[in-house]
Amino acid sequence: MEPHGLNGRELTEQVTAWSLDRAYDSDLPSPMRATNGSASAELRLTLTGTGEWTAAQLYSPYAPHATADIARPRQSVLHGWGLNDDALPAFRGTARDRIADSATGRVEVAALDGTERLRGSAHFPAAVSINTVPIASGAWVVGNLLRDAGVHTAPPPRTNAILYASMHGGITSDIGFYRTHSGSIGYTRPYEPWEMAALTGSTTTSFTVRFDPRTPTTVPGRSLFCEFWTNTSSIDPDTGAVTLSCSYQADGVTNSVEFGVDFKSSPQRATASSSGAFATVLFLAPLSVGRWHIGCYWMFNGTQPTARICMSGPDGYYEEFNPA
């Protein structure tokens, strides 16, 4: 029994041949090489189609999207192998290419497993330790390497992001530059990757981190979207508020915009402020405890921007509003 699937669709009955090649990469010499290390695998499938349509008619690049798209490159591929009705997963990866032959009606699909995505050079930011104090733990290092390979252990950065800090096991920025921080920091695992929790039992349980974006942020007439994730499962009097502040230059003067949510106040509140202006929204009904995704869309027109806050949280909560 050899079950096969492309993009979640069962195609076992259409597969007439398959081959699975698995190569092991090791720095040991050939006489003593073992099957340890990173293993990459390549799967090749030969599809013949259904009784009514050939595989070339169904899965070639020129076939209708409804069927052709399931075999296009980067779609998921699953392969299992076993006896009778028992099959064990033998391969999980993504399609690399496909070759359709209209004469025979067959389509050959080649796929690589996820290990192939981990090949390449490792890149780290300039600073992972400041004055012998680590600002990134082993969890952050592994998460950063996986993120470069397209495997995300925390909410991923948006396209063209100018600053991104996963806060998963460290305060080092993945995109942009770490500047400084204040307060005691530590890395706890209970709520990862949704928050980088303050060190339990430290003298200062709140902390501030400052970053620099990798490119200039805004010019007159442009807009800026800022966002963060947080987990409110553990709140004490000093760790119940989250604020994201941004500084910018306008008319030769350094200005700032910031927004945040205070989950520990009664009533709870969301705030947005810019130089010389402050706005707040009160939540008369208590906000649910759990993971929250909070963002603010700043629209700049001169030195006084306008803000629109969006919040999504537990139990399907979602709300957008303009602070006033």
Residue where one domain finishes, among candidates 67, 88, 118: 118
Q: What is the pLDDT of residues 184-236, one digit of tens each?
A: 666 666 666 555 444 433 444 677 888 888 876 655 567 888 898 887 877 66
Determine contact, residues 105/48, Cβ cutoff 8 Å: yes
**pLDDT of the residue at 219:** 58
- What's the pLDDT score for residue 200? 37
Tally of domains in the chain: 3
The residue with greater pLDDT, 192 or 265, is: 265
Question: Last residue of some domain: 118, 150, 179?
Answer: 118
Residue (of 56, 66, 68) closest to 108 by Cα position: 56
| Same-domain status, 125 and 78 | no
Are 253 and 269 within one domain?
yes
Percent of the chain with pLDDT over 90: 2
What pLDDT is stored for residue 312 in this prediction?
92
Tell which of 85, 118, 151 closes a domain. Answer: 118
Residue type, 183: G
pTM of the model: 0.65
190 and 150, same structural domain? yes
Q: Is the pLDDT of residue 24 over 70?
A: no
Mean pLDDT across 228-253: 74
SS3 of 212-229: the string is ECCCCCCCCCCEEEEEEE
Same domain flag for 174 and 259: no
Closest C-alpha to 200, from 180, 182, 184: 184
Average pLDDT of the chain, as a whole number: 76
Residues 6+ apart with CB under 8 A from 26: 33, 34, 36, 37
Are 167 and 70 in a shared domain? no
Mean pLDDT (whole number) for 164-171: 83
pLDDT digits (tens, 9 = 90+) for 53-90: 888 888 888 888 888 888 888 888 887 776 666 666 67
Indicate whether 9 and 112 sit together in one domain: yes
Same domain, 220 and 321: yes
Please name the amino acid found at residue 107.
Answer: V
Query: Which residue range(s) make up the domain with 148?
Result: 121-209
Q: Are 46 and 108 in contact (CB under 8 A)?
A: yes
